[in-house]
Amino acid sequence: MRRPVIAGNWKMHKEFSEVVSYATRFAKAISDVRDSDIIICPPFIYLRTLVEAFKDTPVSVGAQMMYWEDKGAYTGEISGPMLKSTGVEYVIIGHSERRQYFGETDDTVNLRIKAALRNHIIPILCVGETLEQRENSETFDVIDRQLLQGLDSLEAASAESIIVAYEPVWAIGTGKTATPEIAQEVHERIRHVLSSMFGSHTAEEIRILYGGSVKPDNVDELMRQKDIDGALVGGASLDPESFERIVRYKE
């Protein structure tokens, strides 16, 4: 039985004064939730504040990115050891906005995944097709390539801890959610590819999240799908009440 994961990606939102009041309200609201892993991924500069604010609560903190070298002359970058020493437990890797606007490739995704695992940080690998790729019936080709290259040369033992997020690019921030059937079909494909790479036992352990306009009113049906083990939530994680409702999805 895979433990569900509900992760919020704040992207480049919120100013410092909002961060602490969010954390106080949200931590109180979900203090009784025990059956899911709850993660919030704020911008880098709020990581330490949230690690402290969520100490002794069910909420863990994740970064939205990391560099693959551990240290050195890389102005502006943040490394795995830095994140780990701050109390960060997860990191999003290969988000489509990084791929679209900042030149992220499957090769750099692979370097970052390995660096995260080396530093005992759980990577959340994002994969997903654009609208054009879906319309050209390339969805499975794109997903297969992103998994095969992004997770290239990983040992099954370390692959077991990773989280994969299926995020169709056409559904991110657009209000268009993949139907539960579309999402389930791609999640099943992802598990199949993971099984061919790492064996069926490992593939059964890996949590696969759906992301793309997840909201309080569509999370329940998505979470009922066999291969959907959680959600990666952008916009709806910015408001503590709507994120609480998502965390308290009903199966």
Best CA proximity match to 50, nearest among 70, 76, 21, 73: 21
d(CA 121, CA 107): 19
State the alpha helices, DSSP H only, in the chain: 16-29, 47-53, 80-86, 96-101, 106-118, 131-135, 139-150, 156-159, 180-198, 200-205, 219-223, 240-247
Specify the residue, 149 or 174, whose C-beta has the smaller distance to ligand PEP: 174
**C-beta closer to ligand PEP: residue 171 or 198:** 171
Closest separation in Å from C-beta 214 to ligand PEP:
5
Residues 93-131, buried b or exposed e (16+ Cβ, 10 A)?
Answer: bbbbbbbeeeebebebbbebbbbbbebebbbbbbbbbbe
Q: Which residue is nearest to ligand PEP (CB)?
A: 234
Tell me how far apart the alpha carbons of residues 207 and 191 are, in angstroms, rounded to a whole number.
9
Please, what is the minimum distance in Å from the beta carbon of residue 211 to ligand PEP? 4
Q: Work out how close the CB of 92 gets to ligand PEP at its nearest, in angstroms, rounded to a whole number.
A: 8
Q: How far is the CB of 201 from ligand PEP (least distance, A)?
A: 29
- Type of residue at 166: Y
Site for ligand PEP, rule CB under 6 A: 9, 11, 167, 172-173, 211-214, 232-236
Q: How far is the CB of 236 from ligand PEP (least distance, A)?
A: 6
Q: Would you say 139 and 183 are in contact if contact means Cβ atoms under 8 Å apart? A: no
Would you give the DSSP letter of residue 172?
T
Catalytic residues: 95, 167
